[in-house]
Amino acid sequence: MWHRQRQFRRPSLKSPGKALLATDALRYGRPVSSRLAEARLLTEALRERATRAERPRTPEPMVMDDEVSVAAFHVAHPIYQLPAYRLNAEAMSRLLPEEGVVLDLGSGSAQLLAHLARARPDIRAIGTDLAESMLETGRGLLRDSGLVDRVELRSADMTELPPDLPDRVDLVSTSWALHHLPTREHLARCLDQIARVRELTGCAVWIFDFARLRRDATMRAVIDLAKDPPQRLREDGLASLRAAWSESEIREAMAQAGLTDLRGGRERIIGFLQAYHAPARQGRPSGHTAHWAPSPLPRESKQMLRGIRVGLPNLPV
């Protein structure tokens, strides 16, 4: 006897529990330890939803130049980092025209730019950072990946860019870097730089970072999704979540910088990420469809990526 096939429905984001379940979070094929971590995160997400008081921000150093932290960050962990790199790279690709140029602020060890450049062989990128250890590690990655002819790293302050900007910029971006800014004044200055580049070039904008959670238990549940992560990566991850700006703080700073037309917002299931974007003002058509050719992700990275995509509103299409 034939049965009508069940159709998948996108879960209502008013129900974080249903949304999280819809992302393969508690499927029976997963290891028991992973299912327990995901069940704990679901529980903490519901408690986070019911919490109203904002948690005070705990700033972390603006420059991550400690060799142990740099090495831990550079690992590209399949749960912590690879899904975010893929999400950022795809969003940036959709905002880039054919043979586009990216100016990225706070690029760290260039893992994201390398991920993007490998998947979009037609684009070029200029990444900036103040941490010499990050820049040295990133340049080694680019040499080993054969990308030095298309991705360049420069020492520069994301709150005060040098005057010798490239003549052409099709996208100005910052990913996982704003939470390193120590004060609201530094945040405002960084967003002013993004607005200045946009005003000069008419380029697209992409901003991605953590969003500050209200409960320490939720932060720990996010970190505990990965089984046996490097201890320094776990410590730095918690510090970054505690240093993150809230959605309201980011929106206020963007408004002050004149970036009022950016779309996006906070991830709506757990609430630990936020992303904002705007297309180029008079840009050429996106080169994404013609040139996007990413490498396959590990299964666990795919599952995490699906969960993030469900929660983030209005990603570039």
Global model pTM greater than 0.85:
yes
Q: Which CATH superfamily is domain 16-311 in?
A: Vaccinia Virus protein VP39 (3.40.50.150)
* Residue 166 in this model has a pLDDT that exceeds 50: yes
The residue with greater pLDDT, 231 or 217, is 217
Q: What is the mean pLDDT of residues 239-256?
A: 97
The residue with greater pLDDT, 7 or 280, is 280
Residue 98: partners with Cβ closer than 8 Å, 6 or more residues away: 122, 284, 285, 287, 290, 291
DSSP secondary-structure letter at 296? P
pLDDT at residue 212 in the model:
97
Residue 233: partners with Cβ closer than 8 Å, 6 or more residues away: 72, 73, 75, 77, 80
* Residue 19 in this model has a pLDDT that exceeds 50: no
Confidence bin at 20 (pLDDT 50/70/90): very low
DSSP secondary-structure letter at 58? -
Domain limits, the chain: 16-311
Average pLDDT, the chain: 88
DSSP secondary-structure letter at 287? -
Q: Which residue has the tokens 């094929």?
A: 29
H/E stretch holding 273 reads strand 273-278
Instruction: Tally helices (H) and strands (E) across the chain.
Output: 12, 7
